[in-house]
Amino acid sequence: RYLAEFAAGNDRKEAAENSLVAYKAASDIAMTELPPTHPIRLGLALNFSVFYYEILNSPERACRLAKAAFDDAIAELDTLSEESYKDSTLIMQLLRDNLTLWTSDMQSEGQGKEDADANKEEGEGGEQKATVEDVENQEAAAS
């Protein structure tokens, strides 16, 4: 992922493809071998979601992955060992922080698009609120 962050052109594309393969392989192993609250599994989900958001420009996938990791860990908080409690809860907080930020960004981008569309259709001043679901539907339709 870090190579893809500063590479350009075909080098960036190749680094992103290699990163995606590696993240998917690691995720498959983590999902079968580690509990949802394990710091390594949570850290992997955090980094993989950042990869989706920053490198692949896929905020909906980033949010889906981060939310699933967070929700799975919350559901099993009672199984958290004392030695990993601090690490796990810190990573869970980072997942939640990213979700909050990304959701807000997606709503802002959706609001800007909806305002432009409303202004075209209704003239100035059309007040419409975007929801995350609206933005996800727009992105799904665009792909």
Encoded tokens for 133: 């679901």
**Confidence (pLDDT) at 47:** 98
pLDDT category at 106 given cuts 50, 70, 90 is confident
Range of the domain at 12: 2-142
pLDDT category at 22 given cuts 50, 70, 90 is very high
Domain count for the chain: 1
User: What does the alpha-carbon distance between residue 58 and residue 142 come to, in Å, rounded to a whole number?
Assistant: 12
CATH of the domain at 26: 1.20.190.20
pLDDT category at 113 given cuts 50, 70, 90 is low
Q: Which residue carries 């079968």 as its tokens? A: 32
pTM of the model: 0.75
Q: Does the pLDDT at position 86 exceed 60?
A: yes
